[in-house]
Amino acid sequence: MAPTDAHVPVLAAVPGTPNTWVEFLDALEHEARRAAAATSSTTEAAQWPLPSVAWHPPSGLGPLPADLRDRARAVVHAQQEAATALRESMAAARRHRAALATVPSADAGHPVYLDVTG
pLDDT by residue (tens digit) across 78-104? 999 988 988 888 899 899 999 988 887
Tens digit of each residue's pLDDT (9 = 90 or more) over 21-78: 999 999 899 888 888 888 776 655 556 666 666 767 778 888 999 999 999 999 999 9
Q: pLDDT band for 1, please (50, 70, 90 cuts).
A: very low
Do 32 and 89 touch, CB atoms closer than 8 A?
Answer: no
Residue 24 domain-assigned (yes or no): yes
Residue 34 domain-assigned (yes or no): yes
- Structure-model confidence comparison of residues 6 and 101, the more confident one: 101
pLDDT of the residue at 86: 86
pLDDT surpassing 50 at residue 12? no
Residue 81 domain-assigned (yes or no): yes
Residue 104 domain-assigned (yes or no): no
Residue 57 domain-assigned (yes or no): no
Residue 39 domain-assigned (yes or no): yes
pLDDT of the residue at 96: 92
Range of the domain at 26: 18-44+66-97
Residue 31 domain-assigned (yes or no): yes
pTM for the structure as a whole = 0.65
Mean pLDDT of 100-109: 76
Residue 93 domain-assigned (yes or no): yes
Instruction: Give the long-range contacts of residues 56-63, CB within 8 A, separation 24 or more.
Output: 58/17, 58/18, 58/24, 60/10, 60/11, 60/13, 61/10, 61/18, 61/20, 61/21, 61/24, 62/5
Do 24 and 72 touch, CB atoms closer than 8 A?
Answer: no
The Cα 19–Cα 15 span in angstroms is 9
Domain count, the chain: 1
pLDDT surpassing 50 at residue 5? no
